Amino acid sequence: MKKKQNQRKKLLISLVLLWVAIILSVVLLPVWIIYTLWMILDRIFNPTSNSSWRKAIGYLANTIRSVAVGIDQIWNVICRDLFNNILITWNGHKFWNVQETISSVLWHNQIDWTLSKAWKRVVKMLDRIEKDHCKKSIIYFNKK
């Protein structure tokens, strides 16, 4: 009985935290966009060196890529059951790790020959956008 109560409490806390995260995202996203654009425009119109324009564009590119990677990692976890059941073979590298992007999992499955036909098309599309995209997406973590 106590175990069921703990599971319910854990579920309730998780739901509350999810709602807080969603509300913060809705509130903070426009603030982030406005503030980041203001910072970039400030760097462009009030340059402190000859490379301010390039630095501003590089900063924006890095920020946007970081946001894209974070979103990708979230969807890797959220859709893990769907992706694992219909998009890779049973013995493929699984979708689930929050530190991995979908592209990273695709690369592991590509080199292991465990991709479905649908994912092979996705990999080809990604490679048209950025050469060797999935291969470049691999992040190696130090294992102790």
Residue 31 lies in a domain: no
Give the up-direction half-sphere exposure of residue 101: CA atoms within 13 A in the CB hemisphere.
19
Tell me the average confidence (pLDDT) per consecutive run of 10 residues in the chain, 144 residues long. Answer: 82 93 92 87 76 77 89 94 88 91 92 88 92 85 47
Residue 33 lies in a domain: no
Residue 64 lies in a domain: no
Number of domains present in the structure of the chain: 1
pTM above 0.85, yes or no: no
Residue 30 lies in a domain: no
Instruction: Measure the CA–CA gap between 57 and 5, rounded to whole angstroms.
Output: 52
Residue 135 lies in a domain: yes
* DSSP output for 58-86: HHHHHHHHHHHHHHHHHHHHHTHHHHHHH
| Residue 118 structural domain | 75-144
Rounded alpha-carbon distances, angstroms, from residue 34 to 21, 24, 39, 116: 20, 16, 9, 41
Residue 34 lies in a domain: no
Residue 28 lies in a domain: no
